[in-house]
Chains A and B, each alone.
Chain A
Amino acid sequence: MKKEFTIALSGNPNAGKTTVFNAITGARQQIANYPGVTVEKKMGRVNHKGHEIQVVDLPGTYSLTAYSLEEIVARDFLVNERPDLVVDIVDASNLDRNLYLAIQFRELGIPLIIALNMVDVAEARGIKVDNQELSSLMEVPVVPMVARSNRGIQELLDKVVELGKASPDWRPSRFSYGMDIDQALDKIEEIINRSQIYDKKYPARWRALKCLEGDSQIVELLKRDPGLGQNIHDICREISKHTMDTLEADPEGVIADHRYGYITGITKKAVKRKIELRLNLSDKIDKVLTNRLVGPLFMVAILYGIYAFTFWASETPVSWLEAFFDKLKWAASSVIPPGNIQSLVVSGIIDGVGGVLGFTPLIMFMFFAIAIMEDSGYMARVAYMLDRVLRWFGLHGNSVMALIISGGISGGCAVPGVMATRTLRDPKERIATLLVVPFMNCGAKLPVYAILIAAFFAGQRARVLFIITLLSWGFALLAAKILRSTVLKGPKTPFVMELPPYRAPTFKGLFIHTWERTWQYIKKAGTVILVFSIILWAMMTFPTPSEEQVEFYQERQNKITDSFLSSHYVKPWIKDKDDLAELDRLYESFMNAETQNDMAALAELDNSRLAPLVKAVAFMENKEVYAQGIDGSLLSAASRYLIYKQGMKETTLKEQQAALKGTIAGWIGRQLETVTNPLGFDYRTNIALVGGFAAKEVVVSTLGTAYSLGEVNPDEAGSLSERLKREPGWNPLTAFTLIVFTMLYVPCFVTVISIRRESSWKWAGFSIIFNLTIAYIVAFLIAQIGSALGLGV
Chain B
Amino acid sequence: MKKLIKMREMSDNQEGIIKKISATGEMGRRIREMGMVPETPIQVQGRAPLKDPVAVKIRDFILTLRNNEANHIMVEVDTSVTNRNRV
User: Which A residues form the contact surface with B (CB < 8 A)?
Assistant: 62-63, 65, 67, 93-97, 100, 125, 127, 248-250, 252-253, 256-257, 260-261, 283, 286-287, 290-293, 295-296, 384-385, 387-389, 391, 397, 493-501
Contacts and interface: CB of A to CB of B under 8 A. Distances in A.
Given A248-B20, A290-B55, A253 B32 contact: yes
Contacts of A296: 49
A67 B32 CA distance: 14
15 contacts: A65-B29, A65-B33, A94-B61, A96-B60, A252-B29, A253-B32, A286-B46, A286-B55, A292-B47, A384-B48, A388-B52, A494-B66, A496-B64, A497-B64, A501-B62
B22 A248 contact: yes
A287 B46 contact: yes
B35 A496 contact: no
A242 to B, nearest CB: 15
A295 B49 contact: yes
Contact of B62 (A63, A291, A498): A498
A678 to B, nearest CB: 40
B4 interface: no
Contacts of B32: 252-253, 256-257, 260
B52 to A, nearest CB: 5
A498 B58 CA distance: 10
B34 A496 contact: yes
Interface in B52-87: 52-53, 55, 57, 59-66, 69
Given A248-B20, A250-B25, A499-B63, 9 more contacts: A249-B24, A249-B28, A253-B24, A283-B57, A295-B48, A384-B48, A387-B66, A397-B53, A495-B64
B34 A257 contact: no
Contacts of A100: 33, 35
A539 B63 CA distance: 54
A251 to B, nearest CB: 10
Contacts of B46: 286-287, 290-291
Q: Which of A127, A287, A498 has its CB near the most chain B CB atoms (within 10 A)?
A: A498
B35 A253 contact: no
A772 to B, nearest CB: 34
Contact of B69 (A63, A93, A286, A496): A496
A494 B26 contact: yes
B74 to A, nearest CB: 10
Given A286-B45, A292-B49, A499-B62, A384 B55 contact: yes
Given A253-B21, A290-B48, A388-B52, A62 B33 contact: yes
Contacts of A290: 46, 48-49, 55
A401 to B, nearest CB: 16
A295 B45 CA distance: 14
A260 B49 contact: no
B53 A384 contact: yes
Nearest to A271: B60
A95 B61 CA distance: 10
A293 B46 CA distance: 13
Interface string B4-26: 00000000000000001110111
Contact of B27 (A292, A293, A494, A498): A494
A293 B49 CA distance: 7
Nearest to B57: A283
A97 B59 contact: yes
B63 A496 contact: yes
Given A100-B35, A384-B64, A250 B49 contact: no
A290 B53 CA distance: 12
5 closest Cβ contacts across the A-B interface? A256-B32, A388-B50, A499-B62, A96-B59, A496-B30
